[in-house]
Amino acid sequence: MLSESERALARAVLIHGPISRSELTSRLGLSPPSLTRLVKPFLDRGLFVELDDRTDGSIGRPVRPLDVRPGLASFAGVKVAGESLYVVATDVRAGLLAYQEHALGRRDPDGVADEIAAAVRGLGVDQIAGVGVSLGGAVRDGRVEFAPFLDWTDVPFAQLVEDRLGIPVSLENDLVALAEAERWFGLGRGIPGFAVITIGAGVGYALVVNGQVVHSREAGVGLGGHIPLSTTGPVCHVGHRGCAEAMLASGSIAAQVSAALQRPLDYDDVLRLAAQGDPAATTVVDEAAAALGRFVALAVNLTLQPAVVLAGEGIGLFALAEDRVRAAIAADRDPRAEPVGLYVDESGFSAWARGAATIAIQDAVDRIRLDERAPVLLSADAGAIT
């Protein structure tokens, strides 16, 4: 396995590459000779490549940036939702190669593992080095401690999927996985601290502090969904009035407008009607936007991390009512505080699956061996799916 210095180097080139050696020495606190010694085995094993000479704006000879080798490996990511599987194939930087959605036919662990294995095989991508699976619930060491929407308790789910595919499988809470993807490859890259707030079928919250995602069993409990945001809002399914779930979940928003207009509507219908100026839809959307702004302000005020990544399949609310969201943030934020950085991930369901793939990529980095001639990012059989 890699030493701590080797692991830091691998992550720096993967996340920030192409990157010059001078920038690497600064990031890693290494002398140029030490960096040269660390880099050599990565080049020898074909993990890194040196790119063509290019100038960096300084006086002196051109630099040859380091980068990961193109086509080094592929990964799969699977987000398990209540009724669907969202499945991606990615490159080594979680760049999207393929995306599919599948209805979830079974809900028992063996049945879901069978469907995940079939979906990953169906991607048609060769040399998959690892599979990441994410779901809502508490996850630890490859086991689902509990997943309420699936009614699972203490399930060794990573092993079930790994037995079917024959390649390494990583399991993580979906919010933690999404935060890891934003931190390594997404809108949070280079930001030392930020919150992730997701809106869609539910409301989620994750946190990055000092460049690290906060890993906690609490991430699977859904506490962010019950933060109070309005004293006059609707009631959520467990009886909280005006909480984040009641104000921001797509089903709640659709139900409010459906009741007002006396006809069934889905979330997209509501956003379309609000954009057209329908009074009932506009009222509900405006209240939801104000609640989202209050949620953002609470997150940055309480964590002292003045940046937020907004994501989730319901994020169209922000585009429709951005001014109202920002006004609510300003109303609950001291004017002497740092401006809040808002970063909006509009990729919807695929963002969740890319988060799962990122967990697999992170684990693959930790499996690298530089003292062997075998493929160093892959498992036995060079990542062939069985």
Position 62 pLDDT exceeds 90:
no
Position 384 pLDDT exceeds 90:
no
- Give me 214's structure tokens: 């906060």
Q: Mean pLDDT check: name the lowest of 5-19, 31-45, 209-223.
A: 209-223
Structural domains in the chain, sorted by start: 4-68 (1.10.10.10), 74-180+350-383 (3.30.420.40), 189-344 (3.30.420.40)
Position 378 pLDDT exceeds 90:
no
What distance in Å separates the CA atoms of residue 123 and residue 247, rounded to the nearest whole number? 37
CB atoms closer than 10 angstroms to residue 314: 25
Average pLDDT, the chain: 93
- Give me 224's structure tokens: 């962010």
Position 280 pLDDT exceeds 80:
yes
H or E element: which one contains 28?
helix 21-28
**According to the model, what pLDDT value does residue 218 have?**
76
For residue range 109-144, what is the model confidence (pLDDT) as tens digits? 999 999 999 999 999 998 899 999 999 999 999 999
What distance in Å separates the CA atoms of residue 191 and residue 276, rounded to the nearest whole number? 37
For residue 266, give the nearest of 316, 218, 311 by alpha carbon.
316
3-state secondary structure of 343: strand
Position 5 pLDDT exceeds 90:
yes
User: Which pTM was predicted?
Assistant: 0.92
CA atoms within 13 A on the CB side of 291: 30
- Going by pLDDT thresholds of 50, 70 and 90, the confidence category of residue 381 is very low
- Going by pLDDT thresholds of 50, 70 and 90, the confidence category of residue 369 is confident
